[in-house]
Structure 1
């Protein structure tokens, strides 16, 4: 069963200490995707995640962006793009930041002009998903990625 909640993102001082600086990406099909450069321990988590990611998300077939990397994945014509091991977004420090929960994975929501950007919270590395505007109010992509994230990227804190 898919679960979804929208709530303010409240991080404790301990959570903020665990989180590490800003990243961005684009879902524009003509844009190049910036491959993150996480520490080796986080890169190994991302490698495991890459192997567990589904072949289809929200009806979009897997089509990984260029340059090819175990730190990135995509579905459709860059409609949904995942980057693993991204730096901590600055908005994560904002107590008014919005968050969603999809099937047990918490995501900080940033509403951008070209579509939402969501970044996992309470995980040992940050996983970022950008989506085309048509997915702005659709939790399906996050729900379909949740099992792979839960299986390969351990939680850092117990979420209330």
Structure 2
């Protein structure tokens, strides 16, 4: 069923969403040509673009060592995992961490990550890196 007005995507806030670096995250205005849309809740630690929504959340607990794929994009390390329809990338070596959820329609999530370099670099580094 198509609706004349789309609802704001509902986003669960991350455990450290209230951390100052997340509450005032400087999210990009657009990602790969998709404009930013309002989220529910409307919180500075989360952002979404396009329809279906590409969603980013700041405030996740940092990842520990993993065997999942780890890629470096613009000097930022990301752990990338497949989902049933799309993929998720989470900053590695940052505390708190950022998570980017990309529906399959957006293609390979690493190609979207340059839009998040500035906000990822604003997060405190833990010293861990992809190896």
| TM-score past 0.5 threshold | yes
More strand by share: 2
**1: CA distance, partners of 2:38 / 2:15:** 17
Match of 2:120 in 1: 149
Say if 1:64 and 1:72, in contact at 8 Å, map to a contact too.
no
CA shift in 2, pair 1:100/1:37, >3 Å: same
Match of 2:98 in 1: 127
With normalisation by structure 2, the TM-score equals 0.81
Say if 1:60 and 1:76, in contact at 8 Å, map to a contact too.
yes
**1: CA distance, partners of 2:115 / 2:96:** 19
With normalisation by structure 1, the TM-score equals 0.67
Structure 1: give runs of 5+ residues left out of the alignment.
Answer: 1-28
Match of 2:16 in 1: 38
**1: CA distance, partners of 2:102 / 2:38:** 14
Match of 1:136 in 2: 107
Provide, for residues 66-107 of structure 1, a one-character-per-residue CA deviation record: whole Å limited to 9, x for no partner: 111111101112431001112356xx443x211121111111
Deviation (angstroms), 1:143: 0.7
Higher RCO (C-alpha under 8 Å, 6+ residues apart) = 1
Deviation (angstroms), 1:140: 3.2
CA shift in 2, pair 1:68/1:38, >3 Å: same
Q: Secondary structure at the match of 2:112?
A: helix
**Residue 60, structure 1, aligned to residue 34, structure 2:** yes
